[in-house]
């Protein structure tokens, strides 16, 4: 199946206007989508990967560490027979997700407030698909979590992961980003070999591994966060660069890459 086209890409994350109090922010998000383009890149890449899979018409889907739920909302709207559980430990994100789902009349998505590491997922359902976007790098015992996902997956099911590549291997455009890191990562992200090894230990086989955040996506991210150390200056420049960043971000989602700053992995239980 072809990747999302430009107009479909623009829809990813637009439902977030519902939970913004500022009327100007509501108008902007309804017209252009959320200001941060990097979340749209990674969620779109996961959506594109999921659309390629052979899933049942009434698939049971887990969004592990859903955050703002961009991918879950897109799937819920386009596959109304799917049953989606979106899990996160942040009560504000879960509350926002519930409000959006109610406003849009989405009855096929359930938001669950829980620690994904301690939740017995198999008590909720046996899933046809588990996907996770930039979560594992926050988890100390990532192999145990992968084992838990393996137990909760249908033997014919799929695991789709989006992960940041090890930041020491990142290719940057602007010097200021050479020192850019995310403080709450518990490890220096992943190399391709490392995530494949962990998946193998957890009894998964890797069907596909490719890269995202190529030159297009990385440039979009850097322009969108040009003054990342200074909040208000970052927001102002993000507004100025947003039209260009959106186009660059879309280009990044059009195909898979042999190199880039993020990893996309599709795996299946052994």
State the pLDDT at residue 210.
Answer: 96
When pLDDT is averaged across residues 75-89 and rounded to a whole number, the result is 97
DSSP 3-state assignment of 259?
A: coil
The model's confidence at residue 178, banded by pLDDT at 50, 70 and 90, is: confident
Instruction: With beta carbons less than 8 A apart as the criterion, state whether 155 and 183 touch.
Output: no
Left, alpha or beta for 13 (phi > 0: left; psi -120 to 50: alpha)?
left
The model's confidence at residue 1, banded by pLDDT at 50, 70 and 90, is: confident
CA angle, 113 then 114 then 118, to 5°: 170
Residues 18-69 pLDDT 10s:
999 999 999 999 999 999 999 999 999 999 999 999 999 999 999 999 999 9
Residues 141-170 pLDDT 10s:
999 999 999 999 999 999 999 999 998 999
Q: Of the CATH numbers 1.20.1420.30, 3.40.50.800, 3.40.50.150, 3.40.309.10, which one belongs to the domain with range 6-269?
A: 3.40.50.150
Three-state SS for 195-222 is HHHHHHHCCEEEEEEEEECCHHHHHHHH
State the pLDDT at residue 227.
Answer: 87
Helix (H) or strand (E) holding 149: helix 142-152
The size of the chain, in residues, is: 270
Copy the structure tokens of residue 146.
Answer: 């992968």
Mean pLDDT of the chain: 95
State the pLDDT at residue 123.
Answer: 85
State the pLDDT at residue 41.
Answer: 97
How far apart are alpha carbons 128 and 149 in whole angstroms? 11
Domain spans in the chain, listed from the N-terminal domain onward: 6-269
Residues 107-142 pLDDT 10s:
999 999 999 998 889 889 999 999 999 999 999 999
């Amino acid at each position: 199946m072809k990747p999302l086209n430009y107009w479909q890409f623009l829809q990813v994350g637009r439902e977030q206007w519902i939970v913004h109090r500022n009327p100007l922010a509501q108008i902007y998000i309804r017209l252009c989508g959320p200001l941060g383009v990097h979340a749209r890149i990674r969620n779109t890449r996961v959506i594109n990967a999921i659309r390629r899979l052979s899933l049942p018409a009434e698939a049971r889907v887990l969004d592990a560490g859903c955050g703002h739920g961009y991918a879950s909302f897109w799937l819920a709207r386009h596959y109304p027979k799917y049953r989606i559980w979106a899990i996160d430990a942040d009560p504000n994100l879960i509350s926002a997700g519930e409000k959006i789902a109610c406003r849009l009349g989405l009855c096929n998505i359930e938001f669950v407030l829980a620690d994904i590491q301690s939740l017995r997922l198999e008590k909720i359902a046996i899933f046809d698909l588990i996907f996770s976007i930039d979560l594992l790098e926050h988890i100390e015992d990532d192999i145990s979590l992968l084992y838990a996902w393996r137990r909760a997956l249908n033997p014919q099911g799929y695991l789709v992961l989006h992960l940041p590549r090890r930041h020491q291997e990142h290719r940057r455009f602007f010097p200021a980003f050479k020192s850019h890191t995310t403080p709450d990562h518990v490890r220096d992200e992943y190399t391709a070999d490392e995530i494949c090894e962990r998946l193998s230990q957890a009894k998964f086989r890797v069907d596909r591994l490719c890269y995202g955040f190529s030159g297009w996506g990385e440039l979009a991210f850097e322009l969108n966060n040009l003054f990342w150390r200074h909040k208000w200056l970052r927001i102002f420049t993000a507004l100025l660069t947003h039209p260009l960043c959106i186009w660059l971000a879309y280009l990044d989602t059009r195909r898979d890459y042999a190199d880039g700053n993020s990893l996309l992995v599709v795996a299946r239980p052994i």
